[in-house]
């Protein structure tokens, strides 16, 4: 009888620990995906920016607010950043492909508006800080 009670107590303890872990995992993954995904789309221009980066939204609120930088400033910075980023995508011998997985299609002649340029610029700043990368004309 002692062994049966001991076995039941151990089984219950193991089961309760495992159920807590799976509940916590589910909550963490859901909130992280919801809170750290930024999607901007414009169907008429047929573009979409999707930023899935844990911690980006919480970092973004600590940066200069919208309207601090002018649109012209953001567009110029993004041209430099995108150009350098795309060069690194094609130079996988020198730069890790995990950091530079695919090319960014940023047309310099398209007016994406302030919001897209603001988020893209801040993503590049965040990217440089988080992954210890240095893009020309950027701050860290």
- Those residues with Cβ within 8 angstroms of residue 112's Cβ, 6 or more apart along the chain or in another chain: 42, 45, 47, 120
Q: What band does 25 get if pLDDT is binned at 50, 70 and 90?
A: very low
Cα separation, 140 vs 138, whole angstroms: 7
Model confidence pLDDT, tens digit, residues 119-139:
999 999 998 999 989 888 655
Return the percentage of the chain with pLDDT > 90, whole number: 31
Give dist(CA 84, CA 91) in Å, integer. 11
Name residues whose C-beta falls within 8 Å of residue 59's C-beta, 6 or more positions apart in sequence.
126
| 46-69 pLDDT tens trace | 677 777 888 888 899 999 999 999
What is the H or E stretch that residue 40 is in?
Answer: strand 37-42
What pTM value is reported for the model? 0.68
Residue-level pLDDT at 61: 92
Which H/E stretch holds residue 87?
helix 71-89
């Amino acid at each position: 009888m002692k062994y049966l009670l001991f076995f039941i107590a151990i089984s219950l303890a193991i089961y309760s620990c495992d159920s807590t872990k799976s509940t916590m995992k589910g909550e963490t993954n859901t909130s992280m995906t919801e809170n750290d995904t930024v999607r901007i789309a414009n169907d008429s221009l047929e573009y979409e920016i999707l930023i899935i980066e844990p911690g980006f939204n919480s970092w973004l609120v600590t940066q200069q607010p919208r309207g601090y930088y002018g649109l012209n400033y953001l567009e110029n910075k993004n041209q430099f950043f995108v150009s350098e980023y795309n060069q690194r995508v094609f130079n996988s011998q020198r730069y890790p492909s995990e950091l530079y997985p695919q090319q960014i299609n940023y047309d310099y002649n398209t007016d994406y508006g302030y919001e897209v340029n603001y988020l893209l610029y801040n993503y590049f700043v965040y990217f440089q800080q988080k992954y210890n990368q240095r893009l020309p004309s950027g701050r860290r």
